[in-house]
A and B are shown apart, each in its own frame.
Chain A
Amino acid sequence: MSVLATLVTAAQPVPVPAPPAPAATITQPPISYPAIMPILIILGAACVGVLFEAFLPRHNRIAAQLVLSVLAILVAGWRLLSYADEMPETGTITLGRALAVDKPTLVLWATLLVLTIGALILMADRTVERGGYFVADAAVRPGTVQDRAQAGRGEMQTEVFPLALFALGGMMVFCAANDLLTMFIALEVLSLPLYLMCGLARRRRLLSQEAAVKYFLLGAFASAFFLYGLALLYGYAGSVQLSDIANAAAGTNRSETLLFGGLGLLVVGLLFKGSVGPFHTWTPDVYQGAPTPVTAFMGACTKIAAFGGILRVLSVGFGTTSWEWRGVLWGVAIASMVIGAVLGLTQTDVKRMVAYSSVAHAGFLLIGAIVLKPAGLSATLFYLVTYGFTTLATFGVIGLVRNADGEATHLSQWAGLAKRSPLVAGTMAFLLLALAGIPLTSGFVGKFVVFQAALSDGMAPLVVVAVLASAVAAFFYLRVIVLMYFSQPAEDGPTVTIPNLWTTGVLTVCVLVTLFLGIAPSLVLDWTSSGVFALQ
């Protein structure tokens, strides 16, 4: 897709009234293949995955898909690391200025790749849920005879692996997109597979399908807003390049209606993807209804991609007009933190509670994103890294607490879990403390650096609200911990399923990263603060 975008970008200078196809050759924009190699590998592997689905026999597919996807991610990561050494200090802008590969991009890409490996391993676990988390045949109607027959079959829809790779490719392009059209295409490439993956749960298929419908309708609605914003900005600047928009806004006295109308609509679409309140309404429903490994993938990776995009749009495209719109985003950040913290208190379902926590976290992230200085950028990137690992592990653990009907996500079922399974309860407690931002966890350091950056930019009132909101949010995390440790377990309470070795490994790594970043954050902080966005 992105290569095609290059071709049409190259075709731009042809004036409209002139007859098409002048004999003159169109010069090909230079392409830095080493810079975009990780994206090409991921999307190429996704295409191969589709061919696997077409030609491999059913019983071979899951192993082949898992090996292919993990291998592709590892190779992409290797190319990424080797490119990181040779990249010029200011980054590379390539493919006719469609993609900007710079230090923040590399940080986001590396995080996305690592987290996706974890999510893929969770998805491939077939010991926790017999046959896997995903339905054997999604086309069979829930509740019918055929559906009961397929529930016993130990198969699953292995299309989730290529779909996850496509989503990952979309997220990587989204983080690096330097013009709004590329960003829109990437937005759709990352969203469409996620809509489908949400509807593929093996258990509670009605809930899962309902989550998919809601996510799809609201997501398409939001992307229409993004697109109308894009069109207005194109009318304003005559281009959808972020830097052209910034220059147009700085240099002329053109219609501000188009500029701010366009920016507003564009930001609505972006905030929706980042599940920032008040555009969060899909989040709890989708997080609850989707298969838990998909929720883990969405919760961790979509947030990272969305905020990567928000950071770039705000600082590269609209940095010159920040004094006009920053007040509005102050309000949005406050709304998001308050909505997340207050509504999180009233939840009775663990997955919904973590969803509201993610809305509150989106508010904290937005504070970092509107600082618009290198300190804010590096703080937000660090926060994204910490949040990604913690969320992945949290949903991984939630998927293990089960009873005969599948996952036991109601809070009352978690009562006294520590007596049944001290290890899982302890892990969950630690992860919840990290989400609350208690010292010695990565969540504390993440909040600390974001608040510090905000204070240095004169946003003290916002920081006060944020601290209050995190105090309120800490209450509902602690409520779960108290429930797990100081309540009597119910008679027919859930049991903790022992996952396979790979899943255990993923959870262990995520918990260790959460701990490590809380104790010795400087390594990753150096990494996230090593560069700024490429401007051109």
Chain B
Amino acid sequence: MYETATILAQPPAPGGPGDLKSYLPLILLFVLAGAFAVFSVVVAPLVGPRRYNKAKLDGYECGIEPSPQPVVGGGRVPVAYYLTAMLFILFDIEMVFLYPFAVTADALGVFGLVEIFLFIATVGFAYAYVWRRGGLDWS
């Protein structure tokens, strides 16, 4: 452990990630977002009209519909939801490689462009499979 500590000891660079000053704009942004949320919630009931109906009292875009029978196993959540969630995770995470590519696209040149299109094509094969096999049908 001692040896590990000696090679690891390294002070944070000024203005670098270890320096908290560089987080100031981020903190300001959080404060702004929070203030806006509070403002909306407080002011909307005061100035807006009040007309309730059933649809308005529903959960709004909160994903899983409550199941009719919470039996163990059978139907806690619609199975289709799992499928969509899994597909989303898969295609979403694959895109992580596009960020490093985008940042260095100029430096990588034509070869990099060809490679990234090949990569997108392989993801496209998977997409074609999912689409043709009905993985995207919500029923």
- With an 8 A cutoff between CB atoms, is B129 at the interface? yes
- With an 8 A cutoff between CB atoms, is B7 at the interface? yes
In chain A, positions 247-272 with a C-beta closer than 8 Å to chain B are 254-258
In chain A, positions 1-48 with a C-beta closer than 8 Å to chain B are 3-4, 7-8, 10-11, 17, 20-26, 28, 47
User: Would you give the 0/1 interface string for B111-135, flagging 1 where the beta carbon is closer than 8 Å to chain A?
Assistant: 1100100110010011011011100
Q: A234 CA to B138 CA in the complex, in Å?
A: 45
Inter-chain contacts of A23 with B (CB < 8 A): 106-107
Inter-chain contacts of A10 with B (CB < 8 A): 108
- With an 8 A cutoff between CB atoms, is B3 at the interface? yes
Inter-chain contacts of A47 with B (CB < 8 A): 122, 125
- Judge whether A55 and B132 touch: CB under 8 Å: yes
Contact flag A17-B107 (CB < 8 Å), given A8-B100, A47-B122, A54-B131 = no
Residue in A53, A54, A255 whose beta carbon sits within 8 Å of that of B3 in the complex: A255
- Judge whether B3 and A4 touch: CB under 8 Å: no
Residue of A nearest to B15 (CB): A17
Inter-chain contacts of B126 with A (CB < 8 A): 50
In chain A, positions 91-117 with a C-beta closer than 8 Å to chain B are none
- With an 8 A cutoff between CB atoms, is A478 at the interface? no
Residue of A nearest to B114 (CB): A3
- Total residues of chain B contacting the partner, CB 8 A: 28
**Which of A21, A254, A257 has most B Cβ within 10 Å?**
A21
Q: A23 CA to B133 CA in the complex, in Å?
A: 45
Interface of B is mostly: helix
- Judge whether B118 and A53 touch: CB under 8 Å: no
- Judge whether A254 and B112 touch: CB under 8 Å: no
Q: A258 CA to B107 CA in the complex, in Å?
A: 35
Q: A3 CA to B122 CA in the complex, in Å?
A: 13
- Judge whether A17 and B125 touch: CB under 8 Å: no
Inter-chain contacts of B100 with A (CB < 8 A): 8, 11
- Judge whether A7 and B115 touch: CB under 8 Å: yes
Size category of the binding interface on chain A: 20 to 34
In chain B, positions 92-117 with a C-beta closer than 8 Å to chain A are 97, 100-101, 103-104, 106-109, 111-112, 115
Residue in A4, A24, A54, A55 whose beta carbon sits within 8 Å of that of B107 in the complex: A24
Q: A21 CA to B102 CA in the complex, in Å?
A: 9
Residue in B115, B129, B132 whose beta carbon sits within 8 Å of that of A4 in the complex: B115
- With an 8 A cutoff between CB atoms, is A51 at the interface? yes
- Judge whether A26 and B107 touch: CB under 8 Å: yes
- Judge whether B115 and A51 touch: CB under 8 Å: no
In chain A, positions 164-181 with a C-beta closer than 8 Å to chain B are none
- With an 8 A cutoff between CB atoms, is B70 at the interface? no
Q: A26 CA to B118 CA in the complex, in Å?
A: 19
Residue of B nearest to A43 (CB): B122
- CB B111 to nearest CB in A, in angstroms, measures 5
- CB A19 to nearest CB in B, in angstroms, measures 10
- Judge whether A25 and B103 touch: CB under 8 Å: no
- With an 8 A cutoff between CB atoms, is B11 at the interface? no
- With an 8 A cutoff between CB atoms, is B4 at the interface? yes
Inter-chain contacts of A7 with B (CB < 8 A): 101, 108, 112, 115
Inter-chain contacts of A21 with B (CB < 8 A): 103-104, 106-107
- CB A8 to nearest CB in B, in angstroms, measures 7
Inter-chain contacts of B108 with A (CB < 8 A): 7, 10, 25-26
Q: A55 CA to B129 CA in the complex, in Å?
A: 8
Q: A26 CA to B100 CA in the complex, in Å?
A: 13
- Judge whether B4 and A54 touch: CB under 8 Å: no
- With an 8 A cutoff between CB atoms, is B16 at the interface? yes
Residue in A25, A51, A257 whose beta carbon sits within 8 Å of that of B125 in the complex: A51
- Judge whether A22 and B107 touch: CB under 8 Å: yes
Residue of A nearest to B133 (CB): A54
In chain B, positions 55-98 with a C-beta closer than 8 Å to chain A are 97
User: Would you give the 0/1 interface string for A371-389, flagging 1 where the beta carbon is closer than 8 Å to chain B?
Assistant: 0000000000000000000
Contact flag A25-B7 (CB < 8 Å), given A7-B115, A20-B103, A50-B125 = no
Q: A10 CA to B4 CA in the complex, in Å?
A: 29
Apart from A3-B115, A26-B108, what are 12 other A-B pairs with CB-CB below 8 Å?
A4-B119, A11-B100, A17-B16, A20-B103, A20-B104, A21-B104, A25-B106, A28-B109, A55-B128, A255-B7, A257-B3, A257-B4
Residue contacts A-B, CB under 8 angstroms, 15 given: A3-B118, A4-B115, A7-B108, A17-B13, A20-B103, A21-B104, A23-B106, A23-B107, A25-B107, A50-B129, A51-B129, A54-B125, A54-B128, A54-B132, A255-B4
